[in-house]
Amino acid sequence: MFVVHSYPLAVIFCVVTMLGWGSWANAKKLARPDWRFELFYWDYTLGVLLFTLILGLTMGSSGTEGRPFLADLAQASSASIISALVGGAIFNLANILLVAAIEIAGMAVAYPVGIGLALIIGVIVNYRAAPVGNVALLAAGVVLVILAIVLDAVAYRRLLAASPGVGSKAGASGLLISVACGVFMGMFYRFVAAAMYPDPADAVNGKMGPYAAVFVLAVGILLSNFVWNMFAMKKPFVGTPVSFGDYFAGRPGTHLTGVVGGVIWGVGMSFNLIASGRAGFAISYALGQGATMIAAFWGVFIWKEFRMSPPGTSALLAAMFASFLAGLTLIVLARAV
C-alpha cells in the first residue's frame, strides 16, 4: 500500500482533507432547488463507498509496505470491523445532523459550531487514547477554536435579529442541531482509529490499515443510512416527508451531485487516515477539521449567507477566521516541535 513517511506530506494530505470535508456540501447546493437533502444523502453514501473501494484496489494494493487492501480486509478481526462499522454509523448520524443544520442555518454557521465542537471533542478523545504531540500547543489551539465558535455564534445571533423572515425558533434549532452534530462528530473518529494499527508500514494482526478501515467505515455509513436517513425521510427536520418514490424520480444529473459530494468527502477521509500514521490520530483529525474554515469561506463569500447581517458583523467574522487559523497553526506546530 502507499504509505506516508514525512510529516510535511502528512500535513499536505490533511490540507486535502480540509478541502474535501469543507467543500462536499456544496454539491447539495448545486442540485436542483427542490431536491431534498434526505434524497441527496443516499447518493452521497454511495459515492463514499464507491471511492473508498476504488482507492483500496489501487493505492491500497500498490507498493511493498503493509498488507494489500483485500488481504488486510480478510485478516481483520471481528472486533476491528465492528469498531469501524460503529464509527461509520456514528459519523452518519452526525453528518445527517450537519446537513440538516446547513439547511436551517447555512454553512457559515453549521460548520464553525458543529465541526468546531467536533474538533475540540475529537482532539481530547484521540489524544487521551494516543498522546502524540505537544499538549500545551494542542490545548492552546483548542482554546482558539472555542473562541472562533463563540464569535460565529454571536455573528449568527446578530443575523437572526436583523432578519425578520427568519424565526427565532428556527434559528435556535439550527444552533441546537449544530451542537448535537458536533458531539457525535467528535466521537466517531476514535472508533475508526481503534480498528487501525498506528504505523501503516508495520502491520498488526487483526487490525486494519487506512485503506481497509476507511472502506469498512463507508460500509457502516451505508448500512446505518437505512436507520438514520429513513427516519429523517419520515420525520424530516425541514419540510414534508419524502419517499423512495421521490428518490427514483430524480434525474441522473441530480443523482450525480450526491455521488460527487460523497467522492469529495471520501477523498478527505481517506487522505486523513493515510496521514494519521505519521501525524498521529489527534493531530490528523484536528487538521482535517480545519474544514470548518473552508466551509465558512464558502458560506460567507460565495453563498453570501451573512449578506443581511447588521454593521459590525464582518469584524466578528474576521475575528472568527483569525482565531480558527491561529488555532490550526498551533495544532500543526504541536507535532513539529
Cell of 21: 470535508
* Best-predicted range by mean pLDDT (6-15, 39-48, 300-309): 39-48
- pLDDT, residue 105, reads 77
Question: CB–CB of 106/303 below 8 Å?
Answer: yes
String of DSSP letters for 237-256: SSSS---HHHHHTS-HHHHH
Confidence of residue 170 (pLDDT cuts 50, 70, 90): low
**Distance separating alpha carbons of residues 309 and 312, to the nearest angstrom:** 8
Residue-wise burial string across 275-306, b where 16 or more C-beta atoms lie within 10 A, e elsewhere = bbbbbbbbbbbbbbbbbbbbbbbbbbeeeebb
- pLDDT, residue 165, reads 54
Predicted structure pTM score: 0.86
Q: What residue spans define the domains of the chain?
A: 9-336
Question: 48-52, 109-113, 134-138, 221-225 — which is least confidently predicted?
Answer: 109-113
- pLDDT, residue 171, reads 62
List the one residue out of 336, 234, 332 whose CA is nearest residue 18.
332
User: Nearest 5°: phi and psi at 196?
Assistant: -110, 155
pLDDT, one tens digit per residue, over 201-210 is 778 899 999 9
- At position 288, the amino acid (one-letter code) is G
Handedness of CA 212, 216, 221, 222 (dihedral sign): positive
pLDDT, one tens digit per residue, over 63-88 is 888 899 999 999 999 999 999 999 99
- pLDDT, residue 241, reads 96
Query: Rounded mean pLDDT of 152-178?
Result: 72
Query: Rounded mean pLDDT of 1-14?
Result: 91
pLDDT, one tens digit per residue, over 220-271 is 999 999 999 999 999 998 889 999 999 999 999 999 999 999 999 999 999 9
Question: CB–CB of 102/261 below 8 Å?
Answer: no
pLDDT, one tens digit per residue, over 158-168 is 877 776 555 45
pLDDT at 54 over 80: yes
H helices of the chain, in order, are: 7-23, 26-30, 37-57, 69-75, 78-105, 107-110, 116-129, 135-161, 168-194, 210-234, 244-248, 252-279, 281-288, 291-297, 313-336
Cell of 239: 419540510
Query: Rounded mean pLDDT of 137-141?
Result: 90
Q: Which helix (H) or strand (E) holds 165?
A: none
3-state secondary structure of 20: helix
- pLDDT, residue 196, reads 95
Confidence of residue 319 (pLDDT cuts 50, 70, 90): very high
Cell of 158: 446578530
- pLDDT, residue 235, reads 92
CA distances from 336 to 7, 122, 330 (A): 8, 20, 10
Question: CB–CB of 71/195 below 8 Å?
Answer: no
- pLDDT, residue 140, reads 92
Task: Report the greatest alpha carbon distance in the chain.
Answer: 62
Cell of 287: 487538521
> Which one is predicted more confidently, 222 or 100?
222
- pLDDT, residue 253, reads 93
Cell of 249: 424520480
